Amino acid sequence: MIRYSIFEIAAEKLTLAGSAMGRQMLASLISETRPVNEPTIAYLDFAGIDIATGSFLREAVLGFRDFSRKAMGALYPVVANANAAIEEELFDYLADHNDAMWACSLDKAGTSSKPHILGLLDTAHRNTLKLICENHRISAPELAKLRPNEGIGVSAWSNRLATLATKGIVMEFRIGKTKLFTPVMEAT
């Protein structure tokens, strides 16, 4: 687990606004990030932040999520301790772009609670996530065997899993040539 205090990185500013400030935050987050060898959650901790605009969140949070998923591979960003206004801004942006990511509460000891998805997953991806939650560490061929009557082939399951992994909703583990998937977090 990695924890980035957005409040500290932002020099204790209470309001984070604009794409320029978001790009500065992204650069700071990237400079503090070290490679990880196994799937790791990176909490973007918004404790202490009052306001974060959509343009800031787009550049900083989604920029870091995309960097983490493409360049780091095994790093899975999760928004933590964002207040209702910040979550609403992020939800609206994600929903408008058919995107989603995890959010939660995080205590001082690093224990997460109240995991939930901000944004929207289409029905196919929501149903796939539900199956993954019910059958941890599952592969595309196993999903196809689990639901043979749905007429969904291994390639279609693979595509759904890849999309969820790109969004940082599920973690990908490799065992030999096999890719297994498990949820980054689980909504209760």
- Find, among 183, 58, 66, 178, the residue nearest to 125 by Cα: 183
- Same structural domain, 106 and 134: no
Total count of domains within the chain: 2
Would 63 be classed as within a structural domain? Answer: yes
pTM for the complete prediction? 0.94
- Each residue's pLDDT, cut to its tens digit, for the chain (188 residues) gives 999 999 999 999 999 999 999 999 999 999 999 999 999 999 999 999 999 999 999 999 999 999 999 998 899 999 999 999 999 999 999 999 999 999 999 999 999 999 999 999 999 999 999 999 998 899 999 999 988 888 889 999 999 999 999 999 999 998 888 999 999 998 65
Q: Which of 76, 92, 119 is the last residue of a domain?
A: 119
Handedness of CA 164, 167, 169, 171 (dihedral sign): positive
- Same structural domain, 20 and 49: yes
> What's residue 61's pLDDT?
98
- Same structural domain, 129 and 109: no
Domain that holds residue 161: 123-183
Q: What's the angle, vertex CA 173, arms to CA 168 and CA 177, rounded to 5?
A: 130
Would 188 be classed as within a structural domain? Answer: no
CATH number at residue 155: 1.10.10.10
> What's residue 119's pLDDT?
96
Return the structure tokens found at 155: 């390639």
CATH number at residue 106: 3.30.750
- Same structural domain, 110 and 130: no
- Same structural domain, 93 and 40: yes
- Same structural domain, 106 and 139: no
Q: Which of 86, 119, 152 is the last residue of a domain?
A: 119
Q: Are 83 and 50 in contact (CB under 8 A)?
A: yes
| CA neighbours closer than 13 Å in the CB half-sphere of residue 62 | 21
Share of the chain above pLDDT 90, in %: 88
Q: How far apart are CA 18 and CA 51, in angstroms?
A: 11
- Same structural domain, 81 and 138: no
Q: DSSP string of 57-73?
A: HIIIIIHHHHHIIIIIS
User: 51-52 and 170-175 as β-strands: parallel, antiparallel, unpaired?
Assistant: unpaired
Return the structure tokens found at 4: 């980035």
Q: Which of 97, 119, 141 is the last residue of a domain?
A: 119
- Same structural domain, 95 and 21: yes
In 3-state terms the chain splits into helix, strand, coil percentages (rounded to 5) of 45, 25, 30
- Same structural domain, 73 and 43: yes
User: 40-45 and 51-52 as β-strands: parallel, antiparallel, unpaired?
Assistant: unpaired
In the predicted model, what is the mean pLDDT of the chain?
Answer: 94
- Same structural domain, 111 and 151: no
- Same structural domain, 29 and 14: yes
- Same structural domain, 28 and 74: yes
